[in-house]
Amino acid sequence: MLIHIAKAFKKALFPTRCLVCGSFFHSIEHNICDVKPGPTDADRSNLVQEFIKKIVSTSARDIYYLDNIHNVFNKLMAHFLCPNCTSGFLPVESPKCSRCGMMFKSREGKDHICGECLDSPKRFQMARSAGIYKDTLMAVIHCFKYKGKIQLSRPLGTLLFAAFVSFWDKMNIDLIVPVPLHSKKLRMRGFNPSFLLVKDWVSIAKFLNVRLPDIPVNIDVLTRRRWTEPQTGLGRKERLANIKNAFNINNDSKIAGKRILLVDDVYTTGATVNECSKVLLKGGAGRVARANFC
């Protein structure tokens, strides 16, 4: 009882500051992403657990995903974002490109291959995102990547995990490979955001009581052998030239015949991931799919 009163006082006296807009708010949820949740946290994870359970069994996966992913995002971010910012999350909706996952401007019609993927066929089989890189998600990713708010890696990793089980048959992936950073950039930033998004999938699955086959995450097999300038602001040809031969494979035997899920934080141009896919396939990978945050 005393603990509850003390917790209530603490909440009233020390409201949470929203990571996106900076306003103070009273978080009514506990952070369900704690590594060692208490019974209350476990209770509160039911919504995410229920979502994962339903999404793998329903035949109307797309509809169920769109109807429920906002609630999942709200739960995951309740401890970090104010209700106003949380409501700004935008999931990817159909019609979208069935290859690269980009949403079409027109909201009419079915999924089909976009002009860009037809003009320059992609080496990866399919790319899917956890949300649109705009508004709330853009601000959250910014906090995570550039302001070092690595406490977001667990809720963001859970969101990407929810997207993963929604879009891929998890049994069809043998190996997860985060897009590597150049060693200089890794030293500057201190962490690889793509790796942080997937490194806890096994414990997230365990926490959510989801049976997940043992899919290893390998951060050494693909390396960035030369420094590249940021792709933003470059034209299509320049982007391709900038990234060409930037990656190599460390150990062919680790990827031989493997079905690889390549993980990146943001899908900006597609050139980077296409180059990674090319190198992985050349090194003997069976096929490459891609999950990215936005």
100 forms part of the interface with Zn ion (CB under 5 A): yes
Q: Which is nearer to Zn ion, 78 or 198 (CB)?
A: 78
Q: Does 186 bind Zn ion (CB under 5 A)?
A: no
Nearer to Zn ion, 52 or 103 (CB): 103
Q: Which residues of 96-132 are buried (b: 16+ CB within 10 A; e: fewer)?
A: bbebbbbbeeeeeeeeeebebbeeeebbbebbbbbbb
Contact flag: residue 18 with Zn ion (CB under 5 A):
yes
Q: Shortest Cβ distance from residue 231 to Zn ion (Å)?
A: 17
Contact 101, 92 (CB under 8 A): yes
Radius of gyration over every alpha carbon of the chain, rounded to an integer in angstroms: 20
Q: Find, among 235, 283, 274, 279, the residue nearest to 121 by Cα.
A: 274
Q: How far apart are CA 260 and CA 176, in angstroms?
A: 6
Quick note: the x/- pattern for Zn ion over 50-89, rule CB under 5 A, is --------------------------------x--x----
Q: Is residue 19 a contact residue for Zn ion (CB under 5 A)?
A: no
Q: Count other C-beta atoms under 10 Å from residue 151's C-beta.
A: 15
- Between residues 143 and 221, which has the closer beta carbon with respect to Zn ion? 143
Among positions 101-130, residues that touch Zn ion (CB under 5 A) are 114, 117
User: Pick from 15, 21, 132, 186: which binds Zn ion (CB under 5 A)?
Assistant: 21
- Which is closer to Zn ion, CB of 78 or CB of 177? 78
C-alpha–C-alpha distance, residues 245 and 43, integer Å? 49
The count of C-alpha atoms lying within 13 angstroms of the C-alpha of 195, restricted to the half-sphere facing its C-beta, is 13
In angstroms, the first-to-last Cα distance of the chain is 43
Tokens of 285: 């990978």
Nearer to Zn ion, 41 or 116 (CB): 116
- Considering only 20, 198, 271, 294, the residue that binds Zn ion (CB under 5 A) is 20
- Give how many residues touch Zn ion by CB under 5 A: 10
Q: How far is the CB of 158 from Zn ion (least distance, A)?
A: 20
> Where does this chain bind Zn ion (CB under 5 A)?
18, 20-21, 82, 85, 97, 99-100, 114, 117
